[in-house]
Structure formats: structure tokens, C-alpha cells
Amino acid sequence: MKTKGKYSIVRALRKKAKESDKQKYVLRLYVAGMTPQSSQAVQNITRICEENLKGRYDLQIIDIYQQPTFAKSEQIIAAPTLIKKLPLPLRKFIGNMADKGKILVGLDLQPKKE
């Protein structure tokens, strides 16, 4: 019985991934100035988006030093932080976005490995 449940979850994730092929992603990356960590996060998430979401994503880079009201309204407590606004559910990622597998799973572009 457990095996059947596992396969139905994988099927559901694949179906969701196919549906997401048509969805537009709205992403916001909050950085604290152009530190090496921030620069790396910008490069990493841009590369991930270009490889996996080409033509169907909107990535906004927001410097919390220049626009602190955005950081306050989103309750940003660390930078860099990536927020996936759409498609729902909303997700947050903290760090330099170097773990491509974790980002792809979090964006629902790849099923979680068990």
C-alpha cells in the first residue's frame, strides 16, 4: 500500500510540473547591497530561471538598503532571500541560491528525492 501512495504522489508532482510549464513565475530576490553573497545569489537564480523557466518568469531584484519598505512588508530577516510569489504556494529561500536541486524542488519544477 505504501508503494502505491508513493507513486501517486510522484504522478501528482509530474502533473503539477506539466501544468507549471504554462504558468508564469513571479519571483523576488531580496539582497543587501552588492556583496559577494548577493552577487552570487543573483547569478545563481538568474541561471536557474533561464535554464528552467525561460520566457515565463518575472524576477525582481530588490536591494533592501535602497528599498527598506519592501523588506519590512515581506518580513525579510536575512538576505539574500528569494520569494516565489506565483504560482502558489508562496515559498521563501534564504542564501546564495547555490543548491540548484533544492531551488528546483521548492519551485515545484522537480519532485523531491526520497
Tally of domains within the chain = 1
Domain that holds residue 89: 2-106
Report the share of the chain in percent with pLDDT over 90. 71
Report if residue 42 sits inside a domain.
Answer: yes
CATH of the domain at 56: 3.40.30.10
Q: Is position 113 within any domain?
A: no
Residue 73 lies in a domain: yes
Identify whether 38 is part of a domain. Answer: yes
pLDDT in tens, 15-56: 665 665 679 999 999 999 989 999 999 999 999 999 999 999
- Is 98 among the domain residues? yes
The closest of 32, 43, 23 to 85, measured between CA atoms, is: 23
Q: Which residue would you say has higher pLDDT here, 71 or 65?
A: 65
Neighbouring C-beta atoms of residue 101, cutoff 10 Å? 10
Is 111 part of a structural domain of the chain? no
In a domain, residue 23? The reply is yes
**Rounded-to-integer distance, Cα 25 and Cα 7, Å:** 27
pLDDT bracket for residue 59 (50, 70, 90): very high
